[in-house]
Amino acid sequence: DGGITQSPKYLFRKEGQNVTLSCEQNLNHDAMYWYRQDPGQGLRLIYYSQIVNDFQKGDIAEGYSVSREKKESFPLTVTSAQKNPTAFYLCASSIIGTKSGANVLTFGAGSRLTVL
Amino acid sequence: AQSVTQPDIHITVSEGASLELRCNYSYGATPYLFWYVQSPGQGLQLLLKYFSGDTLVQGIKGFEAEFKRSQSSFNLRKPSVHWSDAAEYFCAVDRRADSWGKLQFGAGTQVVVTP
C-alpha cells in the first residue's frame, strides 16, 4: 500500500546534538512538507518542497534544515540551534497543480523527539 | 492577521449524541477548507474538504461540514457519536493566494466520548 513512512517513531537527544528525522513516501507525490505539533498549538509548517533539489522555508524554519535529493525522500535535521526541539514532527505529501487530489495532504504517523 | 480559530479546546459528548465542532477563519478570499482527525500518537487523517460548489460536504466516518461564507465558518458535525470518534480534530485552510498544500491549522479540539 502507498503511504508515508517516518522514522524513528521516538527519538531522544541530548542538548547540543543534531538529529535527523526520516520521511519516505511511495505515493509519487511531487510536494512534501514538515510540520511541527505542540500541545494546544495545532501544526506549524517548518519546510516544504515542490520538486527535487528545491525547498522553501515555512513559518518556523529557524533551527531546522532539509534536503530533497530524491522525489521520495525529505529528511529533516533538527540542529542544535533549535531552542526548543521537543515536539511531535509530522511529514506530509501532496499532489500539486490542478490534478484531482491536489492540495490534499497525506500524513505520516509522526516522530516524537524529546530533548533530555 | 490571517488565522484559523477553533473556539473549543475540549468537548465531552455522550455516545450516541450529536457532535458539532466549530471552525472560523479570517482570510480575504474563500480558501480551501479541511477537517482532519488525529488519534493519539498518530498522524492526521483527512475527514473531508471543501474547495467549491455545494456548501454541505460529506466526509468519511459519517461526518459532514457546512461552509458558511457570511460567517467565515466551516463547522463539523456528526449526528450520532461512536466511542471510536474520541480523538483530536483539526480544522485547516489552504490560503491559495500564494500557496498550495501549505495549510494553516487551528489549535485543535479534543473530543472525549463517554458511555
**Whole-number pLDDT of residue A98:** 62
Question: Per residue in B60-86, is it b (16+ CB within 10 Å) or e — as a string?
Answer: eeebbbbbeeeeebbbbebeebeeebb
The more confident residue out of B99 and A35 is: A35
- Taking an 8 Å cut-off on Cβ atoms, the answer to whether A105 and B44 are in contact is yes
Confidence of residue A99 (pLDDT cuts 50, 70, 90): low
Give B94's DSSP letter.
E
Grid cell 480558501 is found at B31
Task: Return the C-alpha cell found at B22.
Answer: 466549530
A26: phi then psi, degrees, rounded to nearest 5: -120, 35
> With contact defined as beta carbons under 8 Å apart, do A44 and A105 qualify?
no
**Whole-number pLDDT of residue B99:** 60
In whole angstroms, give the CA distance from residue A8 to residue B91.
27
In whole angstroms, give the CA distance from residue B43 to residue B29.
29
pLDDT in tens, B10-64: 999 999 999 999 999 987 777 889 999 999 888 999 999 998 888 999 999 999 9
A66 Cβ under 8 Å from any chain B Cβ: no
Q: How far is B15 from chain A (nearest CA, A)?
A: 25
The more confident residue out of A48 and B96 is: A48
**Whole-number pLDDT of residue B27:** 78
For B70-96, what is the mean pLDDT? 93
A11 Cβ under 8 Å from any chain B Cβ: no
Is residue B97 scored above 90 in pLDDT? no
**Whole-number pLDDT of residue B18:** 97
In whole angstroms, give the CA distance from residue A46 to residue A38.
13
Task: Return the C-alpha cell found at A47.
Answer: 519546510
How many Cα atoms are found within 13 Å in the side-chain-facing hemisphere of A60?
A: 18
Confidence of residue B113 (pLDDT cuts 50, 70, 90): very high
Confidence of residue B1 (pLDDT cuts 50, 70, 90): low
How many Cα atoms are found within 13 Å in the side-chain-facing hemisphere of B8?
A: 17
Mean pLDDT of chain B: 91
The more confident residue out of B3 and A86 is: A86
**Whole-number pLDDT of residue B103:** 87
Least confident of A24-33, A100-109, B6-15, B45-54: A100-109
The percent of residues above 90 in pLDDT, for chain A, comes to 77
**Whole-number pLDDT of residue A38:** 93
A75 Cβ under 8 Å from any chain B Cβ: no
Is residue A46 scored above 80 in pLDDT? yes
pLDDT in tens, A56-74: 999 999 999 999 999 999 9
In whole angstroms, give the CA distance from residue A74 to residue B2.
28
In whole angstroms, give the CA distance from residue A19 to residue B48.
34
Query: What residues form DSSP beta bridges with A113?
Result: A11, A87
Q: How far is B67 from chain A (nearest CA, A)?
A: 18
Task: Return the C-alpha cell found at A32.
Answer: 512534501
B44 Cβ under 8 Å from any chain A Cβ: yes
Task: Return the C-alpha cell found at A101.
Answer: 487530489
In whole angstroms, give the CA distance from residue B61 to residue B1.
33
A4 Cβ under 8 Å from any chain B Cβ: yes
Which residues of chain A make contact with B9, given a CB cutoff of 8 A? 40
In whole angstroms, give the CA distance from residue A62 to residue A64.
6
Is residue A8 scored above 80 in pLDDT? yes
In whole angstroms, give the CA distance from residue A10 to residue B33.
31
B31 Cβ under 8 Å from any chain A Cβ: no
The percent of residues above 70 in pLDDT, for chain B, comes to 92
* Closest CB to B43 among A96, A104, A107: A107
Antiparallel, parallel or unpaired: β A43-51 and A54-57: antiparallel
The more confident residue out of A78 and B27 is: A78
